Amino acid sequence: MRGKGGRQTIRDLAAIAGVSISTASKALNDTGRMGEETRQRVKRVAREIGFRPNALAQGLLSKRSFTIGLLTNDTYGRFTLPVMAGVSEALVDRGVSVFLCAIEDDPALGQVHVDAMLDKQVDGIIATGKRVDRSLPIDLTDVPVPVVYAFTEGGPESVSFRSDDAHGATLAVEWLKTNGRQRIVHVTGPEDFFSVRERSGAFRATAGEGASVFFGEWSETWGRDAVERIWAAAGEKPDALFCGNDQIARGAVDALRERGIRVPEDVAIVGFDNWEIVAAQMRPPLTSVDMDLKELGRQAGLTILALAEGLTVEPGVRTLPCRLVVRQSCGAGGSGEAGSLGNDEQRR
């Protein structure tokens, strides 16, 4: 019934239903006054011919396009993807579609994309990136539509969302403690990352001020190197490692195995990011902190929608709790739940 050449307009609908255009419109939108019989007839005909209103025409009049833009400089990254999924999921059933604009780190390209979106009358823009403490290469403070920031720096007057890294670190350490670990060490990325400072701060607060933190880079290699350094040093060895991301964790596990140290029996490991493709494939599968970026995307989506509808939203940074995805790298789990969902993964 659909796709029969040029789309049907409300004019066609009105003609078939034997009413005027205005009556047709009012019938469909449940506005205006008319006999119930007429209203139902119009609706029935609309259903029969598969009428769908032209959103361009609606947007022209209503000044709402039911379209938003998602700007990111993290084209290939694994952060933007879950955020996008969340945004899309939150908005699709409200009829909002999402323009995705990958702008790399090119300000000119960013401007082109922003202009194109504004021309298309987007109702708002969500800016997202790969790092919480860096901003996109383009200034959005003057765009004439609402903007919210997710997983990227937005400036003081903005509405921003990010995960609560301190909370994530606390979750990890507490889980290790629950499992009886005493000497926990934190191996993480470069200290100039805000997330790194956030997490290491919470780590020290929870694991004890004396607990050591090793800053390095976000690579597997660094995970291996860190283990070499720690085990080469004199003194008592850790019985648990909290790693700044899953790649570091993976390097660490490999290095431990090479030394004949068993995971999780001798050393328990917790990672960060819960990057499924690494965490779930590791042997043993890695317990990891999940930043719940999809939820972050959902919230950003709902917020931009609220702003687009004219509601006011308090500026400031909103942090979202992390959650721990328990797999086998810390043992079977404290409360005996681990494994109850099969031997691979357990959520929540």
34 counts as binding DNA under rule CB under 7 A: yes
Tokens found for residue 308:
């687009």
Binding mask 177-196 for DNA (x = CB under 7 A): --------------------
Q: Are 152 and 98 in contact (CB under 8 A)?
A: no
Around 347, how many Cα atoms within 13 Å sit in the side-chain half-sphere?
Answer: 7
Give the helix, strand, coil percentages of the chain, each rounded to 5: 40, 20, 40
Interatomic CA distance for residues 179 and 264, integer angstroms: 11
88 counts as binding a copy of itself under rule CB under 8 A: yes
List residues bridging with 271 in a β-sheet.
Answer: 288
62 binds, among DNA, a copy of itself, none (CB under 5 to 8 A by kind): DNA
95 counts as binding a copy of itself under rule CB under 8 A: yes
Name which of residues 59 to 78 contact DNA (CB under 7 A).
60-62
120 counts as binding a copy of itself under rule CB under 8 A: yes
Q: Are strands 323-325 and 184-188 parallel, antiparallel or unpaired?
A: unpaired
281 binds, among a copy of itself, DNA, none (CB under 5 to 8 A by kind): a copy of itself
Min dist CB 17 to a copy of itself, Å, is 20
Min dist CB 21 to a copy of itself, Å, is 16
Stretch (H or E) spanning 39: helix 36-49
In the block, tokens 């860190």 appear at: 226
Min dist CB 202 to DNA, Å, is 50
Interatomic CA distance for residues 297 and 88, integer angstroms: 8
Name which of residues 224 to 283 contact a copy of itself (CB under 8 A).
247, 254, 276, 281, 283
Around 28, how many Cα atoms within 13 Å sit in the side-chain half-sphere?
Answer: 19
Kindly give, in sequence order, each residue whose CB lies less than 8 Å from that of residue 49, ignoring residues fewer than 6 positions away.
1, 8, 12, 13, 16
2 binds, among a copy of itself, DNA, none (CB under 5 to 8 A by kind): a copy of itself
116 counts as binding DNA under rule CB under 7 A: no
Tell me how long the chain is.
Answer: 348
10 counts as binding DNA under rule CB under 7 A: yes
Per CB under 7 A, the segment of 50-58, 69-77, 129-137, 162-170 that binds DNA is 50-58
72 counts as binding a copy of itself under rule CB under 8 A: no
The residue ranges that bind a copy of itself (CB under 8 A) are 2-3, 5-7, 52-57, 59-60, 65-67, 69-70, 75-76, 78, 81-82, 84-85, 88, 92-93, 95-102, 109, 112-113, 115-121, 142-144, 219-221, 247, 254, 276, 281, 283
